[in-house]
Each structure stands twice: as structure tokens, then as C-alpha cells.
Amino acid sequence: MEPPATTNWGNCPVCGGPAVGTHFGVHSCRACAAFFRRAITSKKRYSCYKECPEILDCKKCRFDRCLAAGMITPEHLRYQDGPIPTVLTTHPHITLLHRLLANYKDFYRERLVFEQAYLEGTDQLEPSPCQLRPPDESQHFTVHIAKYEETTIVWKVAAQKAIPFLSSSFEEVYLMEDQDKFIFIQNFIFLLYCCEGFYRAAKTFKHRPLESFFLTLTTTFMFDEYYILYEGSEPAKRSPQVVRTAKAYNEQCRDLVVPILDRMGLTEIEFIAVLVLALWSMSSETNHEMTKIGDSYRELVIQELHVLYRDEFQLENYATRLGELMTLANAMQMSASQMLSELQFLDFFDVFDKKSFTSMIVRTTKIKEEPMF
């Protein structure tokens, strides 16, 4: 009798060795799974060796790699397999927006589960004065004051989780050339970082939409106290010039999109629609084939918006709202461009390591290292 076939789990994302199964939601080796289990059970606080961040023996760096790979604690794993949230409508002519909204809710939930698990393992964050109140969000959770180091980890994982979201939303992603896929994912992360936080802030803090910003799903900062974001970081990251310039970039992004968001009071399905319109219009680096695909998606989204406004929202004259949505899409693109300028500035001052930020995207899409900017 032939021996049973063994499953190829690939390589452990933490140490690079062979993975032997799924542990804490991630295909990994037993050694890294055991290390993560001991770390979360003992609730130890690890410190880096002086030679960090390169050496493999550093427990803090190993624990950070576990989190960046997506490992989450057992109490959070049971929430991953819940039902897909219901969407706004079942109208037969709004199929694309149905799919996008359902996929976005899944994508949001997966990020939230990881982020809550990760932030529970650190005592570096303090509760924010801006807390959620029903019905601000469907789930109630504690909002913390954002810090730069934790934000970087959270967005690395968001970049990883964006790939299945985009692949399930746009079937063409499977067929894209590696470099096109890289550009597409990069553009999406830029847009999401800029626009999701402002959208949620404008919706949640209606009486002061220009004062705060969701940097991640569960962390926020006040623009008047922007310096707090870099407290506890290396001296170069909290220099007055870095803080002042980074704040200016974020204020420019805010001033582009928040007044429109505040004025329109977007529903979630409209936010998804405008995100897609902006996404498929971005980057001069996209080739002719991707441009054609983008044209078809934008046309379909606009068609479904007509149906949504006419049949679901029952607006007699929705031309103004549709026009505002187009203006918002353009503002979101400009905001993403401002974010790119901010990252280039931070990289110049050795605050932002673009290679480490892109490494998660590069590994997952299996393309060779390319400059992000």
C-alpha cells in the first residue's frame, strides 16, 4: 500500500523553515507555533538585542514576525468563521456592488480580529478620548491613541490581507502579471490608508470631523496632538521637522476629502463604490490592458449607482449626488498621491523603511523586489 500523500504547507512565514500545518490561523512550523503559544501564555515583554533587527535569535523580532504573519490568539480564532454580513440590498442589477460590499465586510472583520489581538498584547497604547458609541459601528471596541510602531505592523498585515479581498472582488487579479498585481495592490493600500480612516472619522465624530483621524481600525489621533503618534519612537522619528511635515501632509489629505465626506454622509455601499472608481483610475504605470479593465469596472459601478439611487434610495434627482461622488473619487486619488509624497519624505529621513513595508506584498505576490516609489 502506498503511503498517504503529505500536504505541502509551504514555508513558515516566521522563520522560513518548512511549515507543517495551520497554527493560530497561519501555516507555520511547530517551533514557531510553540514559541508564539509560550509568548501569549506567559504575557512576556521582549526586548531587542543590540544588533537587531537582523538576527534570528531575537525573541522580540520573532514575536513581531509572528504577528506580522497574521498569527492570532485562540480566543480570537473562533470569531473568524462567522457568517458573511448581509449587504444593503438584493437588487438583481446591483450585483457588483453586492459582492464588493460583502467582501469588504469580510476584509474589515479579518483586519479587526488581528488588530484587536495584536494590540491586546502590548501595553504601549492608551485609550483615546474619542470612543465609539452605538450606532457608530456594528461592533463596539476600545479605541486607542495611535503610535507609529504599532501602526506599521497593522498596515503590513492589512497589505497581506488585501490580496484575497482584491482577488475575490476582481477576477482579473488572478491573471495579472506580477508587476501589474504589485502596482494594483500598492494603489489599493494607498487609497485605503488615506480614505477609510477619514470616512470612518467623518461618520463617527460628526460634530468634529476635522479634528481626528482613524489611523487603523481601532486607533486614532487628534491633529492638534499629532506629535503623540511618534512618542516612544527613535529620536529621528520624533524630530520636530518630521512631525511638522508629516502632520502637514495628513492635513492636506484631510482637507481634500473630509469636507465632501461630511457634506455627503456616505453610506457604506457608496464608500465602496467610490473606492473602486478611484482605484481603477490610479497610476500612470498601469498598462493598456489594465486601463481597459478599469474602464469596464468604472462603467459598471456607475450603472449600478444609477440603479441604487433610483430604485433603492428612491432619489428623484440624484445627478448632484452622483456628481459629488465623482468629485470625491478625484479627491481620494489626490489624497493617495499626498500619502505617497509623505512616505517619500519619511523614507528620506530614515523614518519609513519602504523595503520592509513592501516586503509583505512582494512575498505574497511572489515577485522580485521592486522599488515602491
Residues of the chain with pLDDT under 70: 1-9, 41-45, 49-57, 73-92, 123, 127, 129-141, 206-209, 235-237, 282-286, 345-373
User: What pTM value is reported for the model?
Assistant: 0.69
- Predicted local distance difference test score (pLDDT) of residue 366: 43
- Cα gap 320→14, rounded to integer Å: 51
CATH number at residue 50: 3.30.50.10
Range of the domain at 34: 1-71
Both 66 and 185 in a single domain? no
Both 136 and 47 in a single domain? no
- Predicted local distance difference test score (pLDDT) of residue 85: 33
Tell me the C-alpha to C-alpha distance, in Å, between residue 329 and each of 223, 236, 252, 350.
24, 35, 16, 32
- Predicted local distance difference test score (pLDDT) of residue 52: 61
Buried b (16+ CB within 10 A) or exposed e, 77-99: eeeeeeeeeebbbeeeebebbbe
Q: Is residue 78 part of a domain?
A: no
Main-chain phi, psi angles of 371, to 5 degrees = -65, 140
Q: Counting beta carbons within 10 angstroms of the beta carbon of residue 11, is it exposed (0 to 12), middle (13 to 18) or buried (19 or more)?
A: middle
Q: Is residue 52 part of a domain?
A: yes
User: Nearest-CA neighbor of 96 among 326, 291, 333, 296?
Assistant: 296
Both 38 and 105 in a single domain? no
Q: Is residue 80 part of a domain?
A: no
Q: Is residue 197 part of a domain?
A: yes
What amino acid is encoded at 57 in this protein? D
Averaged pLDDT of the chain: 77
- Beta-carbon contacts of 310 under 8 Å, excluding residues fewer than 6 positions away, are 318
C-alpha cell at 204: 463617527
Both 64 and 166 in a single domain? no
Q: Is residue 271 part of a domain?
A: yes
Both 67 and 144 in a single domain? no
- Predicted local distance difference test score (pLDDT) of residue 6: 46
Paired sense of beta strands 144-145 and 219-222, if any? parallel
Both 151 and 63 in a single domain? no
Both 58 and 166 in a single domain? no
23, 44, 71 - which closes a domain: 71
Both 60 and 179 in a single domain? no
Both 141 and 260 in a single domain? yes
Give the number of domains in the chain. 2
SS3 213: strand
Q: What is the largest CA-CA distance in the chain?
A: 72
Both 95 and 66 in a single domain? no
Both 47 and 112 in a single domain? no
Q: Is residue 107 part of a domain?
A: yes
Q: Is residue 231 part of a domain?
A: yes
- Predicted local distance difference test score (pLDDT) of residue 351: 63
- Predicted local distance difference test score (pLDDT) of residue 309: 92
314-331: pLDDT as tens digits = 888 899 999 999 999 999
Other C-beta atoms closer than 10 Å to the C-beta of 66 total 26
Q: Is residue 373 part of a domain?
A: no
CATH number at residue 158: 1.10.565.10
Both 137 and 3 in a single domain? no
Cis before 135? omega within 30: yes
- Beta-carbon contacts of 74 under 8 Å, excluding residues fewer than 6 positions away, are 24
